[in-house]
Amino acid sequence: MTEKRVQLSTIVKSQVPDYVRTDFPLITEFLKEYYTGQEYQGGPIDLINNIDRYLKIDSFTNRVYSTSLSRSINTIDDEIEVSSTSGFPDSYGLLKIDNEIITYTGKTNRSFTGCVRGFSGICELSKENAPDEVLFETTNAEVHRNEAKVLNLSVLFLAEFLNKTKKEIAFGFEDREFYSGLDQNTFLKQVRSFYASKGTEDSFKILFKALYGVNVELINPANLLFRPSDAQFNQVESIVVDPTLNETEFDDIQNITLFQDFPSKSYAPITYSERILGKDSKVYYRLDVDAGYNKDITFDGAIYGDFKVTPKTKLVNPVSIGSSYLDVESTVGFAKTGNISFKYSDGTSGTLYYGSKTINQFRDTGYIYKEIKEEENITDRDTFAYATINGKKVQCNISSIISCGKSSGASTSVVLFQYFCGQAIGAILAFIFIKHKQTLHCPNSLE
């Protein structure tokens, strides 16, 4: 990536005045070697000159992190044969084989040439007990056997950029490695579509393809059940909600119509309700709506419109009084401008208007008159559902929407929903069959 920009090591000779070169004949060679040692991929000057390029998704995705030896080497070999050198720097890259660090001056398609054995360098960007310090090692030349793993230390910083980006826009993937055959560039650029489809059959297929590179088939047991006698099997859509106003009235929501006005108008009568407990004994409600018969193209069963899940995120940095922006994990799903709700550090509830947003910031906010602690939950205040129960208005945030089946003779615990950190809801009971005789089971759904 640096070859398109002028490197100081290639022009330093012409920049030194004649009288300096006359008095110090070796000064230009010294400076050339010095800048060569600073301009290798991942070096200090390289990072300064090319940081604008390295921060682009195209630069740190689909990188080659390792290869393997195709021939054993001893301690004095200066040419190393490998299965492939694709993805490694053309010169002065850093390799690590077993416990030895090596640099080289050139490469062919299947070998590194001009190798300097027993080199020194950074082999990890953080120490085990000191995450803010890099691990620098000085090594000695060693004997290495055929097929030993050859690590590409020149892309350590690019791997860190990739992980940081996954934390910002692909929450949940930051501690997981993508499948080696995945086009990381395209996946990260289109990851918003994956989150928008969560809970659907396509989202399961995308997830397993991205992590394991396998094709899966999701089978709904409702389509395979035997129906003895005259038992009835009803298709329902379950909406898991988090009450925010007059919570105690939700026990009587059965046979009441639930409404949602934003982002689109939707409403549906509730045929069944059940109180469920989430993390830290937080109370949620599962509301069932008949989804088995469509009256016309505007209705899905008894549902008019399309209920939307209330967007949620978390602060990644504390917010001080008077700040005009909030740093969050992601703003995906939130409107370009709108209102958000949260709790201040003292436990009181707060709301705030934001005038714009980026991928991980709410900007141009109203005045913040109290501090907000890090990791506080941020909820879209404009996307909510409401109803009138016993003459009182109730309000709730929608946590998840799941389609499932329910027998008329089944117990009230036909489906067990588990809620964790406001993020995960138990999926449908299903078996996922993977091609090539691999079988996976989808957890968190019990009869």
pLDDT digits (tens, 9 = 90+) for 428-441: 333 343 343 343 33
How many other β-carbons are positioned within 10 Å of the β-carbon of residue 116?
13
Q: What is the pLDDT of residues 42-65, one digit of tens each?
A: 777 777 777 777 778 877 787 888
In this predicted structure, which of 213-217, 249-253, 294-298, 390-394 has the lowest mean pLDDT? 294-298
Helical packing angle, 27-36 and 8-15, nearest 10°: 160
The residue whose two tokens read 């929407």 is 401
**pLDDT score for 297:** 58
Residues 238 and 279 in one domain: yes
Cα–Cα distance, 138 to 414 (Å, whole number): 62
**pLDDT score for 305:** 85
The three-class DSSP label of residue 134 is: coil
38 pLDDT above the threshold of 80? no
Residues 129 and 270 in one domain: no
Residues 149 and 115 in one domain: yes
Q: Which of 148-152, 170-174, 413-417 has the highest mean pLDDT?
A: 148-152
The residue-averaged pLDDT of 422-429 equals 38
Give a yes or no: residue 241 inside a domain: yes
**pLDDT score for 417:** 39
Residues 6+ apart with CB under 8 A from 131: none
Does 393 or 41 have the greater pLDDT score? Answer: 393
Residues 373 and 420 in one domain: no
The residue-averaged pLDDT of 59-79 equals 89
DSSP strands (E only) in 264-376 = 266-269, 272-277, 283-290, 299-300, 303-304, 312-314, 326-327, 338-343, 349-357, 361-365
**pLDDT score for 422:** 38
Residues 374 and 392 in one domain: no
The residue-averaged pLDDT of 148-155 equals 90
Residues 271 and 375 in one domain: no
Amino acid type, 295: K
End position of a domain, from candidates 172, 207, 230: 172
**pTM value > 0.95:** no
Give a yes or no: residue 212 inside a domain: no
| CA distances to 166, 177, 301 from 172, in Å | 8, 11, 33
416 pLDDT above the threshold of 60? no
Residues 45 and 166 in one domain: yes
289 pLDDT above the threshold of 50? yes
**pLDDT score for 357:** 95
Residue 75: DSSP 8-state: T
The residue-averaged pLDDT of 293-313 equals 77
The three-class DSSP label of residue 137 is: strand
State the residue range of the domain holding 410: 221-309+384-427
**pLDDT score for 444:** 39
Give a yes or no: residue 190 inside a domain: no
Look at the chain and report how many structural domains it folds into: 3
**pLDDT score for 139:** 92
Residues 104 and 151 in one domain: yes
**pLDDT score for 431:** 37
Give a yes or no: residue 422 inside a domain: yes
Residues 255 and 297 in one domain: yes
Spell 278-311 as b/e; 16+ CB within 10 A means b. Answer: beeeeebbbbbbbbeeeeeeeebbbbbbebbbbb
Give a yes or no: residue 2 inside a domain: no
Cα–Cα distance, 355 to 344 (Å, whole number): 20
2 pLDDT above the threshold of 90? no
90 pLDDT above the threshold of 50? yes
Give a yes or no: residue 285 inside a domain: yes
The residue-averaged pLDDT of 325-349 equals 93
Residues 266 and 407 in one domain: yes
Q: What is the pLDDT of residues 210-267, one digit of tens each?
A: 889 898 888 878 777 766 655 555 678 889 999 999 998 999 999 999 999 998 899 9
- Are 29 and 21 in contact by the 8 Å Cβ rule? The answer is no
37 pLDDT above the threshold of 80? no
Give a yes or no: residue 355 inside a domain: yes
302 pLDDT above the threshold of 60? yes
**pLDDT score for 294:** 62
Cα–Cα distance, 40 to 2 (Å, whole number): 9
91 pLDDT above the threshold of 50? yes
Cα–Cα distance, 161 to 9 (Å, whole number): 27
Residues 295 and 346 in one domain: no
Nearest of 168, 159, 151, 166 to residue 210 by alpha carbon: 166
The residue-averaged pLDDT of 332-344 equals 94
How many other β-carbons are positioned within 10 Å of the β-carbon of residue 388?
13
Nearest of 402, 401, 404 to residue 220 by alpha carbon: 404
**pLDDT score for 421:** 37
Give a yes or no: residue 109 inside a domain: yes
Residues 131 and 44 in one domain: yes
**pLDDT score for 429:** 36
Q: Give the mean pLDDT of the chain.
A: 81
